Amino acid sequence: MTAVDVSDLQRTFRTSTGVFRRTRKEVQAVRGVSFAIEKGELFGLLGPNGAGKTTTIKMLITLLLPTAGSARVAGFDVVKDVREVRRRIGYVFGGDRGLYERLSALDNLKYFSELYGVAPREQAKRIGELLELVGLTGREKERVEGYSRGMRQRLHIARGLLHDPEVVFLDEPSIGIDPVGARELRATIASLTAVGKTVLLTTHYMFEADELCDRIAVIRSGEIVAEGTPAQLKERVSTARVVEIETYGVEQHVVDGLGVVGGVRTVGLEERGHLQVVVLQCEPDAEVAREALALLGDVRVGRVTHREPTLEDAYIELVGS
């Protein structure tokens, strides 16, 4: 059964600049996105900043009206059946905001229980279960202003689940969380599908998507450029090889110049501590290292390694091509 059905969804924003001579401009944030999420599935929406992920989610949770196209969540239209959709969805976004800092976690959950229609006699039990689920039992009477970012994020998830929604939208929930907190959060997210929730997750972290998602759609400039399981997406670049060249103080224009090397599909640069690692995705049988090193010229170079492509490589190829 389909929990989320999106068909040719579009959203255009109008902006204007200037004071006396106002110039109007239209920005197409989402250009005909279509996908379907089955009940109980954890679906990932990946894409760079500004690709249209959050805009898509906001249309699905009824905070934004689509310019064109249609979407149904839990069987209800996001434009016509707003209240029905809202009763059946949970929305969690990343970052520090979205909670009443001066209230305790318990009071925050009580407040949103009322707004999301949880019956008064069920509230105490439900809140207790969710505090247990997100590991905040025993800390619930402390004010949120004293919480760490990881604790706030887990509280957000508890808040999003208060009314037992069928579909949960998680918009970059692990942003800014330390590795231990992120691991705990991933465990919490994984447990959602175990209890039958449908989850739409957006994230920048490839290992997170790889570990959690049943299927992934990659969105670029408002359009879906690839969709499939993590394994299927990796297969798209499995016929490629990745060459990594460690450098010290390489400049961007030099890196950009490596794109002309025969057999190189994409060029990327990663900062790793005091190193800059040039990442070249190449044709399987291409020998690119010698020519690339020649083009790097006087740049100080460390190790040159070859490795198998990861989901991140697949993502970079998809959004960078």
Binding site for another protein (CB under 8 A): 13-14, 58, 61-65, 83, 86-87, 89, 91, 93, 95-103, 107, 110-112, 114-117, 119-120, 143, 159
Helices (H) and strands (E) in the chain, counts: 11, 14
Question: What are the tokens at 250?
Answer: 């390489």
Looking at beta carbons only, is 116 or 205 nearer to another protein? 116
Looking at beta carbons only, is 91 or 315 nearer to another protein? 91
User: Could you tell me the smallest distance in angstroms from the CB atom of residue 194 to another protein?
Assistant: 25
User: Could you tell me the smallest distance in angstroms from the CB atom of residue 141 to another protein?
Assistant: 13
User: Could you tell me the smallest distance in angstroms from the CB atom of residue 122 to another protein?
Assistant: 12
DSSP string, 236-259: HTTTSEEEEEEEES--HHHHHGGG
Looking at beta carbons only, is 97 or 272 nearer to another protein? 97
Distance of alpha carbon 268 from alpha carbon 266, whole angstroms: 7
User: Could you tell me the smallest distance in angstroms from the CB atom of residue 239 to another protein?
Assistant: 41
Question: What are the tokens at 84?
Answer: 């029905």
As a dihedral over the C-alpha atoms of residue 197, residue 92, residue 203, residue 43, rounded to 10 degrees, the angle is 20
User: Could you tell me the smallest distance in angstroms from the CB atom of residue 24 to another protein?
Assistant: 13
Looking at beta carbons only, is 107 or 211 nearer to another protein? 107
**Is the Cβ–Cβ distance between 176 and 149 less than 8 Å?**
yes
Closest CA to 250 of 273, 228, 275, 227: 275
Looking at beta carbons only, is 61 or 226 nearer to another protein? 61
The residue length of the chain stands at 321
User: Could you tell me the smallest distance in angstroms from the CB atom of residue 16 to another protein?
Assistant: 12
Looking at beta carbons only, is 60 or 250 nearer to another protein? 60
Question: What are the tokens at 220?
Answer: 């670029």
Report CA-CA distances (Å) from 246 to 111, 146, 316.
52, 42, 19
